[in-house]
């Protein structure tokens, strides 16, 4: 049986996940947008731009040619920014094997269409749900690349496919659990970035653990409200792709979303924060799409609403925190 995997995207997570896959016994080819990044992966076994100091296993190689990366791959892993997936995949789709399973590592919701990444994949490739999976959990790239122990969720509507992928990514430091709740995993992964932005803002403003714990907990309530309205299993939100990822992202200085929020909390503008890093903070775009999804679904989403306003520059981080406290009071479980 082929164990060739293509990873499309040579950023932090695509590269870190190549280590998981190589440790799981797969032969991995990464497609990278920039030739010099691919050359460094092949020649120095290192992604000097995104994961400096981490030695990549011999089973990992890279190419700038997507046709070469995709040739013979029975598993295709997608790790580009959520807002560029549709454009990228439209170019790649003709070269994806007709039975290949596509796995989204992305944590965002498309602006405009409000599609989750699995929905973009289905629309662009015409693949059925049995060929589309999601891997999501508390998985900060640098820690995974250092092979620090972590768990995650492999979700696919077809449990046999989820189990096949589970076997392929199970490695000494990475423990995958299966799920059939693709929607719940995707919304948990996208929403926690928005909550991490607001937690980062609280940290940037100098507030302590009571404030961050309150925002995290109400963030989970907001995520669960929307996800359950759209059909997610509530237990998914209590699991690794929900609470687990929320805690990791909101607690860690390694999180790009939390760091982005912290800079906003310290008074930088969105343009200044974007200019200060080349890495993607998905929540800065997905706050708008998740807010639109919540509004369309009739779900109250105060955190997405206020984060969207701060990112858009129509409200300050301090005014956001004041507004959270001043909201009409209600029962916790409403």
Return residues touching ligand NAD (CB under 6 A): 9-14, 33, 50, 79-82, 84, 88, 105-108, 139-141, 279-280, 282
Q: What are phi and psi of 105, to 5 degrees?
A: -100, 5
Q: Is 192 a catalytic residue?
A: yes
138 binds, among ligand G3P, ligand NAD, none (CB under 5 to 8 A by kind): ligand G3P
CB closer to ligand NAD out of 87 and 160 = 87
- Residues at the site binding ligand G3P, with contacts judged by CB under 6 A: 107, 138-140, 193, 196, 245, 248-249, 255-257
CB of 332 to ligand NAD, least distance (A): 30
- The answer to whether 106 and 132 are in contact (CB under 8 A) is no
CB of 333 to ligand G3P, least distance (A): 27
CB of 330 to ligand NAD, least distance (A): 32
Q: The dihedral of CA 210, 213, 219, 220: what is its sign?
A: negative
Q: Which listed residue (4, 142, 192, 318) is catalytic?
A: 192
CB closer to ligand G3P out of 164 and 182 = 182
CB of 196 to ligand NAD, least distance (A): 11
Q: Consult the annotation and say whether 192 binds a ligand.
A: yes
CB closer to ligand G3P out of 132 and 246 = 246
CB of 244 to ligand G3P, least distance (A): 8
Q: Consult the annotation and say whether 48 binds a ligand.
A: no
- The answer to whether 159 and 129 are in contact (CB under 8 A) is no
CA 197/CA 55 separation, integer angstroms: 31
Q: Consult the annotation and say whether 265 binds a ligand.
A: no
CA 23/CA 6 separation, integer angstroms: 15
Q: Consult the annotation and say whether 283 binds a ligand.
A: no
Please compute, for residue 104, the number of CA atoms within 13 A of its CA located in the half-sphere on the CB side: 31
Smallest CA-to-CA distance from 226 within 292, 310, 138, 132 is with 292
CA 233/CA 244 separation, integer angstroms: 15
Q: The dihedral of CA 30, 252, 270, 215: what is its sign?
A: positive
Place of tokens 């302590």: 208
From residue 50, how far is each of 15, 47, 73 by CA, in Å? Answer: 8, 6, 24
CA 132/CA 78 separation, integer angstroms: 11
Residues annotated as binding site for sn-glycerol 3-phosphate? 107, 137, 192, 245, 255-257
The annotated binding site for NAD(+) is made up of: 9-14, 141, 256
Feature table: binding site for NADPH: 12-13, 33-34, 50, 107, 141, 256, 280, 282
Please identify every residue annotated as catalytic. Answer: 192
């Amino acid at each position: 049986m082929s164990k060739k995997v293509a990873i499309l995207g040579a950023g932090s997570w695509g590269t870190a996940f190549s280590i998981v896959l190589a440790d799981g016994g797969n032969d991995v080819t990464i497609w990278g947008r920039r030739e010099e990044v691919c050359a460094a992966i092949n020649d120095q076994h290192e992604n000097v731009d995104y994961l400096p100091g981490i030695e990549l296993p011999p089973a990992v190689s890279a190419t700038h040619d997507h046709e070469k990366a995709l040739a013979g791959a029975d598993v295709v892993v997608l790790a580009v920014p959520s807002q560029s997936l549709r454009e990228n995949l439209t170019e790649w789709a003709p070269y994806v094997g007709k039975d290949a399973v596509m796995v989204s590592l992305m944590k965002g919701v498309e602006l405009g269409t409000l599609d989750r990444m699995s929905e973009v994949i289905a629309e662009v490739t015409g693949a059925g749900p049995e060929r589309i999976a999601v891997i999501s959990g508390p998985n900060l790239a640098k820690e995974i690349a250092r092979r620090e122990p972590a768990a995650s969720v492999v979700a696919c509507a077809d449990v046999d496919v989820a189990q096949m992928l589970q076997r392929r990514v199970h490695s000494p430091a990475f423990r995958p659990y299966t799920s059939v709740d693709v929607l719940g995993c995707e919304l948990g992964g996208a929403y926690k970035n928005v909550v991490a932005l607001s937690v980062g803002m609280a940290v940037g403003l100098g507030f302590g653990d009571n404030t961050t714990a309150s925002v995290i907990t109400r963030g989970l309530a907001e995520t669960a409200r929307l996800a359950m309205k759209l059909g997610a299993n509530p237990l998914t939100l209590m699991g690794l792709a929900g609470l687990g990822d929320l805690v990791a992202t909101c607690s860690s200085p390694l999180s790009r979303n939390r760091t982005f929020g912290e800079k906003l909390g310290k008074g930088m503008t969105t343009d200044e924060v974007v200019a200060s890093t080349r890495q993607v903070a998905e929540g800065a775009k997905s706050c708008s799409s998740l807010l639109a999804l919540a509004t369309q679904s009739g779900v109250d989403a105060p955190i997405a609403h206020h984060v969207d306003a701060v990112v858009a520059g129509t409200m300050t981080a301090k005014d956001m925190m004041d507004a959270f406290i001043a909201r009409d009071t209600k029962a916790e479980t409403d």
